[in-house]
Amino acid sequence: MKLTPTHIQSARRHLRAADPVMKAIIDAVGPYTLRFERDRFAMLVRSIVSQQISTSAARAIRKRLQDLAGPTGLTAANLVRFSLDELRSVGLSPQKAAYVADLSSKVNEGTVDLRQLGRLTDEQVVEQLTQVKGIGRWKAQMFLIFSLGRPDVLPHDDFGVRTAIRDRYGLAELPDKATSHAIAAPWRPWASVASWYCWRSLDLTRNTMTVVKGYPT
């Protein structure tokens, strides 16, 4: 199931009724404004490129990669044509160039069928995507939330979600997996929406709860 405006309205009502802390976050942040990424391949490439570098550096590398791909666009069929040296020429590290090449190869040959992912369960999507070098469970969960629009994904290892839980639920330290799941139990079956609100809550000033910027991009 992919989130629709009707689902989002239901999710907000459920979360506000089920969890007073989440109610305060939702009231402060406002409407759920996430726009899903339609280009599945491009999102996966972006997740590889952006890892552990600044936003501006990632943007510059993506632009050069798009230029390398040419006018027909950033597709697996295009990128699979390039050698590792050519991929590194746009600013990718050797490791990331290998990851992009592996993604392009597996998508191009059909080992990972991006067109069919919407028909799979969340766990099946994770199993498919983690066949690709450089894509672990966290990246697969981000794909579930930001591309497929799945409603009930809890990325308990995500630093932003853990930080928001610690700060908003008054914990002394970052929660472990068991604590995160216990706190998130009332969020079901809308954990993806609650996770998005957790990310956005990090952009609220601690005292006034005023939105200062969006997260994540």
Known catalytic residues?
158
Round to whole Å and give the CA distance between 53 and 57: 6
